[in-house]
Amino acid sequence: MSEESREPIIQLIDVCKSFGDQSVLENVNLDIFEGTTTVIIGPSGTGKSVILKQMMGLLKPTSGRVLVFGQDLSRISKRELQAIRMNFGVLFQNVALFDSMNVFDNVALPLRERTKASEKEIRQNVEEKLALMDLDGVNEKYPAQLSGGMLKRVGLARALVLNPKVIFFDEPTTGLDINKSNEIYRVFYRSQLRFKYTSVIVSHDVPRIFKLTDYVALLADRTIVNSISPEDFQLSKHPAIKSFVETTMGPIYISEEEEADYYEKI
């Protein structure tokens, strides 16, 4: 977690999204600030990934605006969108590595396609990122030969390779056990400390993800309820947040006042 400046680099303004007759998002407003980590939480299948895809320009909102670095994604040309995306790194839910390429080529791909770097520079950069992810000796392996945790770390190495300003994480620890999840959090923390990128995470891993984030945004009833600090989130009196906190975290995370009562009674 790094220091924030109050300049939002991504803004969702009254964003609505529907697929056919089905409305998924309604009047979503969310600001992402530079250098911070924001985690979007909420029940499965409510459209968290849809929010992420709108920020990346993969989906266009039905109405409303998505501003990235001040530019409205639905009003810019393909070329301008590509220029914005040069600042993005993405760790997809199922990593989306190219299964016919080995690990090295996967991580090197953005450099080979988007930069004029020499093969020597590419090798140096890729190996540095893989080492940062605690991945040694896997260069020649294919994605199908790696474990889930390793795949995610390769995915993060690929996301980092162009030194992006923003990295999106779509459920980075889903399907991993506690040790593997901790590995991911460790390399995430280490890399963010070093590269100072802004991150937007969609996660189910509540409350552990709270230790890593600056802001928590809850998606409930097709809209973002609030984007507040994890501490405020856990103490919030907003009915949707309160109900989410109680159902997902249980009595350990009851609010301060209630906690006082609880101890007094004992």
Partner 1 sequence: MLARFFGKLGHEILYFLETTGRMGVFLFTCLLCLVTPPYRIRAIIRQTYFIGARSSFVIIFTGLFTGMVLGLQGYYTLRKFGAEGLLGSAVAVSLLRELGPVLTALMVIGRAGSAMCAEIGIMRNSEQIDALETMAIDPYRFVMVPKFGATILSLPFLTFIFNMVGIMGGYLVGVSLLGLTSGAYFQGMYQNVVWDDIEMGLVKSFVFALIVVWVAASKGYHLHLERSGGFGAEGVSRTTTSAVVMSSVLVLVWDYLISAMML
Question: Of 30-38, 63-71, 87-95, 203-211, which segment contacts partner 1 by CB under 8 A?
Answer: 87-95
Under rule CB under 8 A, which residues in 127-186 are in contact with partner 1? 162, 168
Under rule CB under 8 A, which residues in 36-55 are in contact with partner 1? 53
Q: Which residue in 94, 124, 145, 229 binds partner 1 (CB under 8 A)?
A: 94
Contacts with 166 (C-beta within 8 Å, 6 or more apart), sequence order: 9, 10, 32, 87, 88, 89, 197, 198, 199, 200
Q: Which residue in 8, 47, 110, 149 binds partner 1 (CB under 8 A)?
A: 110
Decide whether 107 or 219 has the Cβ nearer to partner 1. 107
Question: Of 78-86, 185-193, 209-217, 250-258, which segment contacts partner 1 by CB under 8 A?
Answer: 78-86
Q: Minimum distance between the CB of residue 242 and partner 1, rounded to whole angstroms? A: 34
* Contact flag: residue 56 with partner 1 (CB under 8 A): yes
**Angstrom distance (rounded) from CA 14 to CA 50:** 14
Q: Which residue in 109, 117, 138, 235 binds partner 1 (CB under 8 A)?
A: 109
* Contact flag: residue 98 with partner 1 (CB under 8 A): yes
Q: Within 13 A of 101's CA, how many CA atoms are on the CB side?
A: 12
* Contact flag: residue 99 with partner 1 (CB under 8 A): yes
How many binding residues for partner 1 (CB under 8 A)?
23
End-to-end Cα spacing for the chain? 37
What is the C-alpha radius of gyration for the chain, rounded to an integer number of angstroms?
19
Q: Minimum distance between the CB of residue 248 and partner 1, rounded to whole angstroms? A: 27
Angle between helical axes of 103-114 and 148-160 (0-180°, round to 10): 20
Question: Of 106-114, 121-129, 175-183, 185-193, which segment contacts partner 1 by CB under 8 A?
Answer: 106-114
Decide whether 90 or 216 has the Cβ nearer to partner 1. 90
Q: Minimum distance between the CB of residue 94 and partner 1, rounded to whole angstroms? A: 6
Residue 122's CB is within 10 A of a number of other CB atoms, namely 19
Q: How far is CA 206 from the centre of its chain?
A: 14
User: Are 148 and 176 in contact, with CB atoms under 8 Å apart?
Assistant: yes
Rounded to 5 degrees, what are φ and ψ at 42? 155, 165
Supply the DSSP symbol for 62: S
Decide whether 92 or 253 has the Cβ nearer to partner 1. 92
Q: Minimum distance between the CB of residue 87 and partner 1, rounded to whole angstroms? A: 9
Question: Of 88-96, 175-183, 203-211, 253-261, which segment contacts partner 1 by CB under 8 A?
Answer: 88-96
Report residue 50 as tokens.
Answer: 């849809």
Residue 80's CB is within 10 A of a number of other CB atoms, namely 13
Q: What's the sign of the alpha-carbon dihedral 166, 171, 174, 179?
A: positive
| Residue ranges that bind partner 1, judged by CB under 8 A | 53, 56-58, 82-83, 85-86, 88, 90, 92-94, 96-99, 109-110, 113-114, 162, 168
